[in-house]
Amino acid sequence: MLRLSVVSYLNTAPFISGIKKAQLEQQGLVELSLDYPAICAQKLISGQVDVGLVPVATLPLLSNYSILGNTCIGAHGKVDSVMLLSDVPLSEIEEIVLDFQSLTSINLCRLLARDYWNIAPKFVHAERDFIDTIKKNRAGVVIGDRVFDHANRFEYAYDLSETWYNWKNLPFVFACWVSVNPVLASDWNPIESALIQGISHPLEAAKEVRSLYPAHYPIENYLTERISYNLDSLKRQALETFLTSLSTISAD
């Protein structure tokens, strides 16, 4: 049995749907836990799980790892759920508070600020109630489902994945399936098949979770038009490009 840590956001609904429909838990093939992205990484590093859907900025922190399969959480351009929210335009931002839930998103913001937007704000690590502190010249990186609840409160909303695409002309990979110890193909293959089945039917996943979310959440459009799940060659190129760029800010 493989212990999996999966991100608990809306964007993983097709993955979870595939795992549930394949009855992998009932067969004793999978033990599933739902966590924030940062917790997925922590559990993988500490050995609490065998495989995690982890933020890709975690990868340089691992002494040894393998990316499993050909699925991921990614986007071609606009993603709608990884945003820099602000009351003022970029040129007036003095401070950016960084969402504690994902190392990838906050480092993407730091990279964009330095090399694309050409701004030099002070970066502050967020507390759990940080969204209410975003005001005046203090902006904030907000990720996941919370964006749908809060983005309309702000005059300016910068989509980090869309900005990356405008800069690099590449998609972006936010998270992928990672192990730090060898995983047998015979153990992973049924999981991979379930994941592929899930992402092949995103509208079914949307229907399954619709009642769990507020009516204003654009669930169907988000799962079919915004999130891109296939870890293809172009996304692998984008991942390498991001990790290379990330190495230049790791000591900041």
User: Over the stretch 215-249, which tens digit does the pLDDT of each residue have?
Assistant: 888 999 999 999 999 999 999 999 999 999 988 87
User: Structure pTM?
Assistant: 0.93
Q: What's the mean pLDDT in 86-114?
A: 91
Phi-psi region of 77 (alpha: psi -120 to 50; beta: other; left: phi over 0): left
CATH architecture of 2-75+171-246: 3-Layer(aba) Sandwich (3.40)
Contact 37, 104 (CB under 8 A): yes
Q: What's the mean pLDDT in 73-85?
A: 96
Contact 87, 95 (CB under 8 A): no
Q: What is the pLDDT of residue 8?
A: 84
For residue 196, the surrounding DSSP H or E stretch is: helix 185-199
164-187 pLDDT tens trace: 999 999 999 999 999 999 999 999
Highest mean pLDDT of the ranges 18-27, 92-101, 142-151:
18-27
Q: What is the pLDDT of residue 252?
A: 45
**Residue labelled with tokens 């904030």:** 140
Q: What is the pLDDT of residue 250?
A: 52
With a CB cutoff of 8 Å and minimum separation 6, the contacts of 233 are none
Q: What's the mean pLDDT in 190-197?
A: 97
With the CA atoms of 11, 80, 71 and 60 taken in that order, what torsion angle do they form, in degrees rounded to the nearest 10?
A: -110
Q: What is the pLDDT of residue 25?
A: 94
Q: Give residue limits of the domains in the chain.
A: 2-75+171-246, 82-168
Residue 163: both structure tokens together = 């900005």
31-71 pLDDT tens trace: 999 988 888 888 999 999 999 999 999 999 898 999 999 99
Query: Would you say the CATH fold of 82-168 matches that of 2-75+171-246?
Result: yes
CATH architecture of 82-168: 3-Layer(aba) Sandwich (3.40)
* Structure confidence at residue 251 as a pLDDT band (50, 70, 90): very low
Q: What is the pLDDT of residue 135?
A: 93
